[in-house]
Every structure is written in structure tokens, then in C-alpha cells.
Amino acid sequence: MAYKTINGITSSIIPFYLQDGTLFVLLGQRGPKSKAFANSWALVGGFLDPGSESLEQCAARELKEETGIEVSPKSMKLVTVQSDPKRDPRGQIIDTVWSTLLQSELPSAAADDLQAVAWLPLSEALNMELAFDHQDSLRRFAAIEGF
């Protein structure tokens, strides 16, 4: 039997902060030329550079590339791993999802693969239709954080 390999590994990140009892998360709107879920809102993230970075480093790099926000991989907590073979129309792609607590809202600007970014209350983000299985990842994050 011939073995098949996965099409890729990604890391996504949920930057968040608390203000007056409200938890805010950062989402990005995918660009119109995205090969999957064009123009959809999603967690910030992207593909691992194999052999040169850890999954945490990938999430931190993608956050910086796509929003300008810098975080230390050591500040991140694993939220979930999404591995459904049909989660991505481009092929079987495994996503590791991380969270990182920020002290306050940080200035951010869409860059790289995103056309927009927005800080949203978690309650609002949970009611949005998000790309891939990011809605499920966000629900798992909310449960972990007690919201």
C-alpha cells in the first residue's frame, strides 16, 4: 500500500484582550484572490515553513506578517488541533490553533494575504460565519477562557 501525505500544516492564532469584562479577539478578512474562502473572515494564520520553524513560531510569524502585531511564541497557549480531512478545499491540511493574551488592543493593519482586520467582541465573533472550521476553534477558545 502506498502512503499518502497531508497537503500541509498551518498555525492559526487568536490574539485577545479584556476590557471592562468584554473579551475582544482579532479576526482577518481573507483577500479576494485567496484560493479558499476568498473574502471570508477567519483567524489569522498560515502555512508552516517546514524545517525552519515550530508551530508556535509559525503562528507568531503569520500574526506579524498579516497584522504587524509581534508576540513571543512563549506567550501562546494551544487551543486545539483541527484535522478533519475535508476542513480545507485545497486538500488535507492540519491546523494548530493558538491563543495569546495581550494587555490591550494593539494597532493592527491588514497586510500579506488579508484585506482587513478587526478587533471584535468575542460574542460578536462567535455569531459570524468564519472560514474553514474557525468557528469551532473560536468556540473551543471561548470554553477554555470561560466565556
HEC per residue, 79-137: EEEECCCCCCCCCCEEEEEEEEECCCCCCCCCCCCEEEEEEEEHHHHCCCCECCCHHHH
3-state secondary structure of 55: helix
Quick check: 142 and 97 in contact, CB under 8 A? no
Low-confidence ranges of the chain (pLDDT < 50): none
User: What number does CATH give the domain 8-145?
Assistant: 3.90.79.10
Q: pTM score, two decimals?
A: 0.93
What pLDDT sits at residue 1? 64
Cβ neighbour number for residue 53 with a 10 Å cutoff = 15
| 144 vs 68: CA distance, rounded Å | 26
Quick check: 29 and 116 in contact, CB under 8 A? yes
pLDDT in tens, 18-54: 999 999 999 999 999 998 999 999 999 999 998 999 9
What pLDDT sits at residue 108? 85
Cβ neighbour number for residue 91 with a 10 Å cutoff = 12
Q: Which residues have CB under 8 Å from 72's CB, separation 6+? A: 60
What pLDDT sits at residue 5? 63
What pLDDT sits at residue 110? 85
> b or e along 12-36 (b: 16 or more beta carbons within 10 Å of the residue's beta carbon)?
bbbbbbeeeeebbbbbbbbeeebee
Domain boundaries, the chain: 8-145
